[in-house]
Chains A and B, each alone.
Chain A
Amino acid sequence: MNPSGNSGRALPRASDTLPWALVTPALGWTLLFFVLPFIAMGLSSLTAHEGGGFTLTNYSQFFTNPSYWQAMVNSLEVTAIVTVISVLLAYPFAWILAEQVPERWQRLALMLAVLPFWTSYVVRSYSWLLVLAQNGVINRALTGIGVVSEPLQLANTRLATVTGFVHFFVMLLTLTIFANLKQLSPSYRKAAADLGAGPVRTFLHVILPLTLPGIMVGAFLTFVLCIGDYITPQILGGNNELLMPQLVMMQIGRRGDFPLASALSIILMAVVSVAYLACARWLKIERT
């Protein structure tokens, strides 16, 4: 992010008003429509839905109402499962693209692999609903070849939510891990081979540790995007078990309870921040 690296030469001094005229619109926008809403949300979370006085009940409800608590547990479980499965699926795939596919086809292969990444969330989740529905493609195929006699309940389950998420994050992680693998100098592998390591040992002791920080970054990104997403669980999981974003939206939609929705959003953000801190520390240890 260092703009120019022209440390030797001084940039023009900010003596006149021009530089401030340039940066103020963007700063003002961010303050007005990002920082201020956040403050409003914080204040709202401390007001009572009925009456409007100061209260902490919006927060205490989260800890005392088992169904709210359960939504957080569900969110964390689903996010953990999705992150692990996505990394395990994407890593070998990215490795094959980076190592086995001939150089001149790699760009095309990668572009194809992430093409559905660009469809909207809503459309992607709906497409999975088509695949997983009672009379959908998978159930027709399974009953057709006689694996099962009755269609399986696939849609409106946690399995469906996880499938929809994994689909998205396999593409995202393939991109990040592929970039990571391509950055490795081939001389690492040559050096390992010269020192007598076979392909398996080279991978376990050289390639994997070198790509681990990149994997952690991708996994963290997966965690953040997954735990904050409303669409996928709402369309694919249905209302059988609620995740945190569904719980937040429910407070707004059905009850118009902005204070409680604000408090739940802030709790969700706090959890993400904790994950960030944990992840940042872990990454630092990894680099030294």
Chain B
Amino acid sequence: MRSVARIVSWIYALAVYGFIFLPVVVLVLFSLQSTSFPIPPFTGPSLRWYEAVLSDSRLTSALVNSLLVALISSAAAVTLGFLSAWGFARFVLPGSGLLRGLITLPLTVSYLIIGMGLLVLFNWAGVPKSLLAAGIGHVVINLPLCFAIIYSQMGDHQINIERAARDLGAPEWKVLLLITVPVMAPAIFAGFFLSMTFSWDEFVISFLLTRFETTLPVEIWNLLRSGLNPKTNAVGSLVFAVSIVLVVFFELTLLRRKPA
């Protein structure tokens, strides 16, 4: 009886794994197709569609744009998030709870609505659609995340180290740069990498707020108009690979440190 239940649960788990990996396996497998349709039978392996992606200047420039927007917007989000977390954790501010609530509020609103709001505002203010506009939107969605992660990690221990530095005569900027930033580095990196992955993958805000120069998810969206195409598989596999590298790097650098 026991072993039957065990076998059933293993079969169930394998079935769910199968469901989860089916689309990814199909995506990657048919990116290696040597003919023009990413449908069975498999005719590869061939790297011709990867070559096609890398020689397509629209895709490569969109890839560079995506990386730039992700890097810059994440750096901005983590800087604003860190400074405000430090301010709220270290000092008594009137209405602190309410103000912290305001900073985290965007987490509860869908990207579509954040993008719509910015589109309407920029339209009225005469701000043209651009990568900068999309980057501003990405800071809006990532700032609350960075703030929440860093704020939740600021504890007694860190305060005491800072106090010691101040007692020894360090000016405030030295405390910040030489004590707080290094001590908080794991939380700062966590905020930064999570922001990077979210910005890298984000579609709807970039779609609404950019026009000619755009990010990779939007460019992939444009590719979809031509229907099923191994080139889309190849670029999708590359995007997946970058995300996986970010996540694995994140796991190795941050989560490994914790037990120590």
Contact = CB atoms under 8 A, between A and B. Distances in A.
B111 A228 contact: yes
Q: By DSSP majority rule, is chain A's interface helix, strand, loop, or mixed? A: helix
Contact of A265 (B113, B152, B155): B113
A40 B120 contact: yes
Given A133-B39, A231-B203, A27 B84 contact: yes
B13 A44 contact: no
B16 to A, nearest CB: 5
Contact of B110 (A21, A40, A116, A225): A225
Interface in B97-140: 99-100, 102-103, 105-106, 108-114, 116-121, 123-124, 136-137, 139-140
B251 interface: yes
Interface in B131-180: 136-137, 139-140, 143-144, 147-148, 151-152, 154-156, 159, 172
A118 B244 contact: yes
B260 interface: no
Interface in A1-49: 1, 3-6, 10-14, 18-23, 25-27, 29-31, 33-38, 40-41, 44
A96 B224 contact: no
Contacts of A19: 87, 90-91, 93
Contacts of A14: 91-94
A268 B19 CA distance: 31
A96 B221 CA distance: 37
Contacts of A158: none
Contacts of A261: 116
A219 interface: no
A31 B84 CA distance: 14
A119 B243 contact: yes
B121 A137 contact: no
B204 A12 contact: no
Contacts, number: 257
B49 interface: no
Contact of A23 (B40, B93, B228): B93
A97 B108 CA distance: 29
Contacts of B247: 115, 118
Interface string A240-263: 000001001100100000100110
B17 interface: yes
Interface string A34-68: 11111011001000000000000000000000000
Given A3-B154, A29-B143, A30-B143, A97 B121 contact: no
A71 interface: no
Interface residues of B, number: 90
B112 A122 contact: no
B17 A113 contact: yes
Given A12-B90, A171-B20, A135 B39 contact: yes
A257 to B, nearest CB: 11
Interface stretch (A76-84, A123-131, A179-187, A210-218): A123-131
Contacts of B148: 1
Contacts of A37: 114, 117-118, 120-121
B83 A23 contact: yes
A71 B133 CA distance: 30
Nearest to B37: A135
A189 interface: no
Contact of A137 (B24, B26, B172): B26
B72 interface: no
Contacts of B99: 23, 27
B220 A123 contact: yes
Nearest to B66: A120
Given A93-B12, A123-B239, A130-B27, A245 B93 contact: no
A258 B116 CA distance: 9
A265 B110 CA distance: 10
A118 to B, nearest CB: 4
B114 A11 contact: no
A127 B39 contact: no
Q: Indicate the member of A22, A27, A135, A252 with the most B CB atoms within 10 Å.
A: A22
B189 interface: no
B181 to A, nearest CB: 13
Contacts of A228: 110-113
Contacts of A118: 197, 201, 240, 243-244, 246-247
30 contacts: A4-B89, A11-B90, A11-B91, A12-B92, A18-B87, A21-B87, A23-B99, A30-B103, A30-B105, A33-B136, A33-B140, A34-B140, A37-B118, A115-B24, A116-B20, A116-B21, A118-B201, A119-B236, A119-B243, A123-B239, A126-B220, A131-B23, A137-B26, A137-B40, A231-B203, A231-B204, A248-B116, A265-B117, A269-B110, A269-B113
Going nearest first, the 4 A-B pairs with the smallest beta carbon separation are A228-B110, A37-B117, A22-B87, A127-B23
